[in-house]
A and B are shown apart, each in its own frame.
Chain A
Amino acid sequence: MAAKEGSMALYMLSKQSQKMPLFLQRFLQIVLFCAFAWACQVIAKDINSPLPGSVIGLGVLLALLSLKWVPEQTVSMGAAWLIGDLLLFFIPPVVAVIKYQALLEHFGLVLISSMLVASTIVLLGTAFTVDRLFKLERKHRLKVQLSQGSNQ
């Protein structure tokens, strides 16, 4: 019941927020995401969860969306910004790679060339598997549809 009331409150919030300027709505949604992420991380630490809090949070939010306890429009703008500007958030860890400058200079060429071979394997291997599988799945679906059609 508490969850139902909570979803009502969220629904009211989404109704009210429709009068708010868009940038403010988006900002509020991002703040909500951050608060939720923080809570998930604290809980994950407290229960010694093998999964990181962020992935638990992803699962919880997906469940809430699927149950319609959280309406999509209360989170969609914030989510779009967080996903769209993901690159900005991982620039700092990339810059920190300066610490390993000597290591990267020494192994740079080996690293790049071997990664190129490895990436080719992953890309082609996955593409080939999915291509064959997709054709099979489609053929199977067509066959099912055909047999259903002839029965009628």
Chain B
Amino acid sequence: MTLSLWGGFCLALTLFGYYSSKALYRRHQKVWFAPIVIAPLIILCVVMTLNIPLADYFKYTHWLAALLAPATIAFAVPIYRERALIKQYPITLSVGVLVGLLLGIGSSWLVGYFTSMPAELSNSLMVRSVSTPFAIVATSSFGGVPELTAMLVLITGVMGMLICEPLFKVAKIRSSVAKGVALGASAHGAGAAKASEIGRQEGVIASLTMIFTGIAMVIMAPAFAYIIN
């Protein structure tokens, strides 16, 4: 196996882009400096301007993507740690997860129905409201493409972060549980990050909702795909 220079450069670029945007966000706590916005943007720009072939980009960075599976398993730890909170609001949480999931799939299906997007794009939309590691495994049930799915999940997360506060204000949503569940179910990790800025309770509830919505999506995706088709 020969060492690939471009491959090494791309791995370094990805790590540098990610950790520097994280450091930047620590200094400037603005949504536009959030790593979820800046990091992919920097890396995409460099790869596109240098015209690096994707095969070279993936030579070593695919090992980073392989960490999505252990990260999924790691979600067991926060569930275990917050078991007291889960026992406190079992109905609210499970109904919230279910409603969020159904609205997420339903609204995405409507987008595909009312616009004339090609199937690979509208199919990839279906899982957009759940966290990436779950979305990437669930998307194949709907006939989605992993790469497009990853991008659409990311955009959905950023959108949720941006629109949540004005929407909560207009709709007079005040309870921390409602805010947490709504952010976790509609904007996954980005929503959970935003929720923990609003408050600790909101953040924990959003993280739990995000995890449960992801698991429910993976389990129920084949059934949903069957119903839709």
Contacts and interface: CB of A to CB of B under 8 A. Distances in A.
Given A36-B73, A58-B76, A92 B137 contact: no
A88 B18 CA distance: 6
B99 to A, nearest CB: 5
Nearest to B77: A79
B103 to A, nearest CB: 4
A115 B155 contact: yes
Given A96-B147, A130-B92, A133-B92, A57 B186 contact: no
Contact of A54 (B58, B69, B104, B146): B69
A126 B54 CA distance: 39
A76 to B, nearest CB: 6
Given A58-B215, A125-B103, A130 B68 contact: no
Contacts of B91: 133, 137
Contacts of A40: 69, 73
Interface in B152-190: 152-156, 159-160, 163-164, 167-168, 171, 173-175, 177-179, 181-183, 185-187, 189
A78 B77 CA distance: 10
Nearest to A118: B107
Interface stretch (A2-10, A11-19, A20-28, A97-105): A97-105
B159 A127 contact: no
Contacts of B24: none
B40 interface: yes
Contacts of A91: 14, 17-18, 39-40, 43, 61, 64
Nearest to A125: B103
A122 B104 contact: yes
A119 B111 contact: no
B179 A127 contact: yes
Given A115-B155, A121-B107, A129-B95, A62 B163 contact: no
B62 interface: yes
A146 interface: no
Contacts, number: 282
Nearest to A59: B76
B14 A128 contact: no
Interface string A83-99: 10111111111111111
B95 to A, nearest CB: 6
Interface string B173-214: 111011101110111010000000000000000000000000
Chain B CB count within 10 A is highest, among A80, A86, A99, A135, for A86
Interface of A: 30, 33-34, 36-38, 40-41, 50-55, 57-59, 61-62, 65-66, 72, 75-76, 78-80, 82-83, 85-100, 103-104, 107, 110-112, 114-131, 133-135, 137
30 contacts: A38-B69, A51-B219, A52-B137, A54-B68, A54-B72, A58-B72, A58-B73, A62-B80, A76-B77, A78-B74, A79-B77, A85-B18, A89-B68, A90-B68, A90-B153, A92-B61, A93-B136, A99-B147, A100-B148, A103-B120, A112-B155, A115-B156, A122-B185, A123-B164, A124-B171, A127-B178, A130-B96, A131-B177, A134-B177, A137-B92
Given A40-B69, A87-B35, A93-B136, 16 more contacts: A33-B70, A40-B73, A51-B219, A61-B77, A65-B76, A86-B189, A87-B36, A87-B189, A91-B39, A92-B64, A96-B150, A97-B147, A114-B111, A115-B159, A122-B185, A123-B160
